[in-house]
Amino acid sequence: MFTDFFYILRQNKVPVSLVEWMTLMEALAKGHIKNLDEFYFLARAILVKSEAYYDQYDIAFQQYFQGVEAPEEITEQVLDWLKDPLSRLFLSEEEQAKFESMDFDELIKELEKRLEEQTGQHDGGGHWIGRGGTSPFGHSGYHPAGIRIGGQPGGRHAVQIAQERRFKNYRSDLTLDVRQIGMALKKLRQLRRTGLEDELDLEGTIKATAKNAGDLDFIWQRSRKNTVKLLLLMDVGGSMEPFAMLCSQLFSAAHSSTHFKDFQYYYFHNCIYDYLYKDVEREDAISTVHLLHTLEPDYKLLLVGDARMGPWELTERYGAINYYERNEIPGILWLKRIRDHFSHCVWLNPDDPRFWIHATVQMIGKLFPMYSLTLGGLEEAVGKLVVAK
């Protein structure tokens, strides 16, 4: 039953497992579902475990139940009868019960049948296609499993709710605010016991004391501290302008995080060559070689940039976009040096992944694991940074 729906959900990247699917089957077998509205909410409650996937669920729901939307030609034919929305109507329980038995195939068939029978415009009433009324067809009416044909919805129903896609903003592949970025970065945290044994181990003390026949025996341990060091290198200016806001959010999240042992950041333009810059205006320079000498390889490296540039900027001697940089070593080699130095590095790309087919993006993508600068991408990237490359 509905097995295709399961696969459509999986195609839409909703992480549904068999366990959940069997739970749904169990619920259906108990006969709790009276109509499609209830099915929509029941299946969502059982199958979807985060509001981040509500939107994909809505899309899958539409795909699976697409036959429900009135076909194009019927709409056109009927639209003439249905001009303005009338006010919404509520059904008595008795009427509601009567309609609840209809399923969708029946509805479609019934619609076609009534279309053939009906010859004129019709408002109100409970059978013909028209405005208001309680017929399952037409608009502004109220029917628990009804089909709306154009106009404004009166009562809202499952497929229509799915069509609204109200949960678009909860998707984790969209970019979000500073706090959420901060939360994602927090996962980088690695707590280690370091330093002097200056923290009382309460459990250990109790155990040891009990063993010691009740005479106090203190046990001390090292306190836990975060040992993560973060290096952030950001592309600024030029093609990165549209993403300036996003990058500044990432920056402020990283900067305000108190849980890093050390946090350093530098800027570059398009690609990294002999120098990195301490400011966005790129005036205060520091040599890349010096940086590689002074920073230990256990810094976690977060590169941010769209990686889009002229191929020569990456591969040619003197290829830097700023003529006066006169780089002896092509950018790609600089990037490779940086990658080889640090044991943990990722590249965050704010650009839409559809544009990642660009030649230089491809080349850089081979050097660094590349993730999109969205909440989902950032979480993946952080996951990657936790384990060594």
Partner 1 sequence: MKKDNFAQFSGSEDYVTSEPIRNAVNVSIALGRPLLIRGEAGTGKTLLAHSIARGLEKKLTIWNVKSTTKAQEGLYVYDTVQRLNDSRFGDKDVGDIKQYIKLGKLGQAFIAPEQVVLLIDEVDKADIEFPNDLLNELDEMSFYIPETNETISAIHRPITVITSNAEKELPDAFLRRCIFHYIEFPTPELMEEIVRVHFPDIKDNLISEALKTFYSLRKVDDFRKKPSTSELLDWIRALIAGGIPHEDIAKQVPFVGTLLKKENDYDFFVRNFATRRW
| Secondary structure of residue 15 in the 3-state scheme | coil
Q: Which of 357, 355, 356, 350 is nearest to 375 (CA)?
A: 350
Q: Which is nearer to partner 1, 27 or 108 (CB)?
A: 27
Q: Stretches 1-9, 11-19, 340-348, 360-368: which one binds partner 1 (CB under 8 A)?
A: 11-19
Q: Which is nearer to partner 1, 115 or 161 (CB)?
A: 161
| Residues of span 13-32 touching partner 1 by CB under 8 A | 15, 17, 19-20, 23, 26-27, 30-32
Q: Which is nearer to partner 1, 152 or 362 (CB)?
A: 152
| Residues of span 139-198 touching partner 1 by CB under 8 A | 166, 170, 183
Runs of H (alpha helix) within 118-231: 158-164, 178-186, 202-211
Burial 29-40 (b: 16+ CB within 10 A, else e): eeeebebbbebb
- If binding means CB under 8 A, how many residues of this protein chain bind partner 1? 29
Q: How far apart are the first and last CA of the chain?
A: 44
How far is residue 145's CA from residue 260's CA, in Å, rounded to a whole number?
55
| Residues of span 190-209 touching partner 1 by CB under 8 A | 206, 209
Distance in Å, CB of 206 to partner 1, minimum: 6
Residue 48 is a binding residue for partner 1 (CB under 8 A): yes
Distance in Å, CB of 30 to partner 1, minimum: 6
- State which amino acid sits at residue 73: E
For residue 70, what is the enclosing H or E element? Answer: none
| Residues of span 50-69 touching partner 1 by CB under 8 A | 50-51, 54
Distance in Å, CB of 49 to partner 1, minimum: 4
Q: Which is nearer to partner 1, 206 or 359 (CB)?
A: 206
Distance in Å, CB of 252 to partner 1, minimum: 12
Q: Which is nearer to partner 1, 55 or 306 (CB)?
A: 55
Distance in Å, CB of 230 to partner 1, minimum: 20
Distance in Å, CB of 34 to partner 1, minimum: 9
Residue 137 φ/ψ, nearest 5 degrees:
-115, 150
Contacts 24+ apart (CB under 8 A), 103-112: 103/145, 104/36, 104/65, 104/67, 104/68, 104/145, 105/67, 107/68, 107/136, 107/137, 107/145, 107/146, 107/147, 108/67, 108/68, 108/147, 110/136, 110/137, 111/70, 111/74, 111/136, 111/137, 111/147, 112/74
Distance in Å, CB of 184 to partner 1, minimum: 10
Q: Which is nearer to partner 1, 32 or 109 (CB)?
A: 32
Beta carbons within 10 angstroms of residue 93's beta carbon? 7
Distance in Å, CB of 165 to partner 1, minimum: 13
Interface residues with partner 1 (CB under 8 A)?
15, 17, 19-20, 23, 26-27, 30-32, 37-38, 41-42, 44-46, 48-51, 54, 166, 170, 183, 206, 209-210, 214
